[in-house]
Amino acid sequence: MKAITFRSGPHTLAGNLHLPGDFSESRQHPTLVVVHPGGGVKEQTAGLYAAKLALDGFVALAYDASFQGDSSGEPRHLEDPSARVEDIRAAVDHLTTLPFVQRERIGVLGICAGGGYAINAAMTDSRLKAVGAVSAVNIGAMIRLGWDGNTAPAQTLGLRDAGAARRTAEQGGEAIASMPLAPTSPDPSLPPDLRDALDYYHTARAQHRNSPSKTPLRSLSQLVGYDAFHLAELLLTQPLQLVAGSKAGSLWHSQQVLERAASRDKRLHIVEGANHMDLYDGSRFVAEALAKLVPFYREKL
């Protein structure tokens, strides 16, 4: 693994470039951009998938998004979809400058909200030749409709107004207020996925100093109107491999983009018995996801 930095607009992004065992700078390799979940960092599930993909012969770049992790940007931990998608394009920009990256063999893999961002980036960047997503989430739809997609849309206007109010308050000198992206305390009424998110982000299982799994409330201004799958019927033309758990409350996102994508080569693999978070680091479930993703990328890149 090699630590690198690259630019995304005004921000400097910190990344880890995972290299295959047979790596040679004199030879070109198929390459993947690996995009972390909302509230995550490169050292967590994105780094896990990148390291395992490197073992299978790919160069894989996991990086911290703008405003997050070791990357620059203020306010800290901002979840800005436009910046997140631009970061993916910027990662591709950087990879095309590396002599050991084969430009026509670059793909993308995203996890959770990173899956939604990966799909969205691919729709406007045809340099990405193959698209994969694990436990994909369209984060805008999640904010509007709730984790399981059943929340009444009426609350969306309140979220919009809350984001706007925080911008005004903070411009007036108030401290930045944040909202959690994963639960911070046990609650038996939460769906199993979200109880598992508490365990992942806030215990020794995967917690990281750079990943408080929160975002400024002002992020609602960017999130509430975002649709990661907008124009998928027209623009999502690349081969698409989705992986999601049979018990995941987020499964509906993968089913929706599978239906909407213009791609003639698209598939969804359901991992039986897995919830959303199991596919982050559960060894058996990650292995099953990779058993689908690795052949897919080998064929399409």
Indicate the DSSP class of residue 252. Answer: H
Residue 277 lies in a domain: yes
3-state SS assignment for residue 258: helix
Percent of the chain scoring above 90 in pLDDT: 95
In angstroms, rounded to a whole number, what is the distance separating the alpha carbons of residues 60 and 44? 14
Strands, E, within 93-233: which ranges? 101-111, 128-134, 178-180, 214-216
pLDDT at residue 150 in the model: 84
Query: Could you give the number of structural domains in the chain?
Result: 1
pLDDT at residue 197 in the model: 97
In angstroms, rounded to a whole number, what is the distance separating the alpha carbons of residues 84 and 256? 21
Residue range 64-85, pLDDT digits in tens: 999 999 999 999 999 999 999 9
Residue 157 lies in a domain: no
Residue range 168-185, pLDDT digits in tens: 999 999 999 999 999 999
pLDDT at residue 34 in the model: 99
Strands, E, within 40-98: which ranges? 59-63
**CATH assignment of the domain containing 17:** 3.40.50.1820
Residue 214 lies in a domain: no
pLDDT at residue 154 in the model: 72
**Minimum mean pLDDT among 133-142, 149-158, 277-286: which range?**
149-158
In angstroms, rounded to a whole number, what is the distance separating the alpha carbons of residues 235 and 222? 22
Reported confidence tier of residue 23, pLDDT bands at 50, 70, 90: very high
CA distances from 120 to 100, 115, 253 (A): 26, 9, 13
Residue 194 lies in a domain: no
Residue 137 lies in a domain: yes
Residue 37 lies in a domain: yes
pLDDT at residue 155 in the model: 84
pLDDT at residue 151 in the model: 78
Alpha helices (runs of H) in 61-148, residue ranges in sequence order: 81-95, 113-124, 139-145
pLDDT at residue 257 in the model: 98
Residue 286 lies in a domain: yes
Structural domain range at position 295 = 2-149+223-300
Residue 185 lies in a domain: no
Q: Which residues pair with 106 in a beta bridge?
A: 31, 128
